[in-house]
Amino acid sequence: MGAAPVVTRFAPSPTGFLHIGGARTALFNLLFARHHGGKFLLRIEDTDRARSTQAAVDAILDGMRWLGLDWDGEPVMQFERATRHAEVARSLLASGHAYKCFATAAELETMRAEQRAAKLPLRYDGRWRDRTDHPEGTPFVIRFRAPKDGSVTIADEVQGNVTVANAELDDMVLLRSDDTPTYMLAVVVDDHDMGVTHVIRGDDHLNNAFRQLALIRALEWAEPVYAHIPLIHGSDGAKLSKRHGALGVDAYRDELGMLPEAVDNYLLKLGWGHGDDEFIDREQAIEWFDLDGIGRGPARFDLKKLESVNGHYIRLADDARLVGLIAPRIARALDRPVTEADTALLHRGMAELKLRAKDLEELATSSLFYLRERPLPMDAGAQKLLDDPSALAVLMAVRTALDSVTWTTVEIETAVRHVAEAHGLKLGKVAQPLRAAVTGSATSPGLFEVLELLGRDESLGRIDDVVTNGPRQ
Ligand code: GLU
């Protein structure tokens, strides 16, 4: 018989967004499962009822869909499984691996205050572990009867062998007095019932793994393979937090204008490596992904790097798709809907426009000149070019020359070159004021192509605006 099929899972708590670190965890779980022809499951850990709104759950699903982190089957909702969790707690009670604890909150607070005063670690002292004088009708919690002696070693696929003495682990609560499970119990039961074979998650959960493993052993369930991945740190080395900027993947999409495949590729490389390979598509990633390639040190998030990866994927992306993606940004900037004619024009210009942009916002902004109404606003660079004393005379000459050309890139270029020659000027001296007049900027895609795409009337009109009225301030 072969090994059990691989089953991984991503188990986010709904916090209002899909955390960028969570997205990387999900990606690793997905790639590992796909690499082994197994399953990648999703479990929403929604037991914190105050935070787990439908909107918060949807934000996770939305982020995962955007990144193509396609899970198998229906998401498992942890809260719905509370009855099953309670049942397992009671089975542990029956088998002697758990016990009832009647200590009140006030009593436990006093216990902790004494431990604090004595500079002892704050741990439940096991006061109900061996008592049999159980009061009637008094609320109780169910605690795990954790092994007292020896130690637990986790053979972690990333961290190596990590050992904790059992004396350091106290008898944790499994079921609260209102019959709700604790996180530790729910995770263990759900992973088991979902058939999870590999637990791949952030190393902030390594400490929990010791307790979870002890519970799994008491239940005599199959032990999963653990792989605790180092968390993502900011470029300053501190753990990634709000102050480092965007934390939710939605911000990478909406605010930073990233493509999902760029975020995926960047996250993959953040903490996992395959030689010097920089750009790795999903198919290749599935083929190559393994737990050995995950580094032990914390990965540093580098926005500049992500931007350069994004620029690469923008250049690779299909033109029509890019037009669709920037359309809402353009509509916002122009404060009007994007028409079919606009779309057609952007589509024709896209092959050139996309060569220069590192994100969709930049791509949208650099496309605006095609669609703006005359007279065009001039940016500082264009203004400077048009302030040159010779600029207007040059533009007038160009205007005259262009009047009679057949409107193709080649003919336009020939005419502009003639003007330069006739005036004894370098091509740039003519092309730059012309660029300023028709694009409102000192940089743009290839000028002659821009003129061709804008069309004769629009191009000449834009030149006229500058020649007759001077550049608009
Ligand atoms: N719900 C936990 C979290 O969001 C993850 C639990 C786990 O992966 O075991 O951090």
Q: What is the per-residue pLDDT across 319-331, written as a single tens digit (0 to 9) for each?
A: 999 999 999 999 9
* 8 Å CB contact between 203 and 296: no
- Cα of 333 vs centre of ligand 1, distance in Å, is 40
Contacts of 432 (CB under 8 A, 6+ apart): 385, 442
**pLDDT (tens digit, 9 = 90+) per residue, 138-150?**
999 999 999 999 9
Q: Where residue 298 falls among pLDDT bands split at 50, 70, 90? A: confident
The per-residue pLDDT for 245 is: 75
| Neighbouring C-beta atoms of residue 144, cutoff 10 Å | 24
Q: Rounded to the nearest 5 degrees, what angle is found at the Cα of 262, between the Cα atoms of 256 and 265?
A: 135
What is the pTM assigned to this prediction? 0.93
- Of 148, 239, 242, 354, the active-site residue reads 242
User: Phi and psi dihedrals of 229, rounded to 5?
Assistant: -90, 135
Separation in Å, CA 144 to CA 41, 90, 111, 178: 28, 11, 19, 17
Separation in Å, CA 111 to CA 126, 129, 147, 240, 306: 11, 15, 21, 35, 50
Cα(326)–Cα(115) distance, integer angstroms: 60
Beta bridge partners, 227, equal: 200
- The predicted model gives 452-465 an average pLDDT of 97
- The predicted model gives 167-187 an average pLDDT of 96
pLDDT exceeds 80 at position 209: yes
The per-residue pLDDT for 470 is: 60
Of 51, 184, 185, 205, the residue with max ligand 1 atoms within 8 A of its CB, to mutate for a pocket test, comes to 205
Cα(60)–Cα(18) distance, integer angstroms: 5
* 8 Å CB contact between 133 and 105: no
User: Ligand 1 site: residues with CB under 6 angstroms?
Assistant: 11-13, 45, 187, 201, 205
pLDDT exceeds 60 at position 471: no
| Neighbouring C-beta atoms of residue 464, cutoff 10 Å | 16
- The predicted model gives 363-369 an average pLDDT of 98
The per-residue pLDDT for 473 is: 46
pLDDT exceeds 60 at position 472: no
pLDDT exceeds 50 at position 437: yes
Tokens of 58: 């949807």
Ligand 1, closest atom to CA 12?
4
- Cα of 10 vs centre of ligand 1, distance in Å, is 8
Ligand 1, closest atom to CA 187?
9
Higher-confidence position of 274 and 413:
413
- Cα of 173 vs centre of ligand 1, distance in Å, is 18
**pLDDT (tens digit, 9 = 90+) per residue, 4-52?**
799 999 999 998 899 999 999 999 999 999 999 999 999 999 998 888 9
**pLDDT (tens digit, 9 = 90+) per residue, 237-265?**
888 887 787 789 999 999 999 999 999 99
384 part of the active site: no
- Exposed/middle/buried for residue 238 (C-beta within 10 Å: 0-12, 13-18, 19+): exposed
Cα(39)–Cα(32) distance, integer angstroms: 9
Ligand 1, closest atom to CA 22?
4
| Neighbouring C-beta atoms of residue 33, cutoff 10 Å | 25
The per-residue pLDDT for 1 is: 46
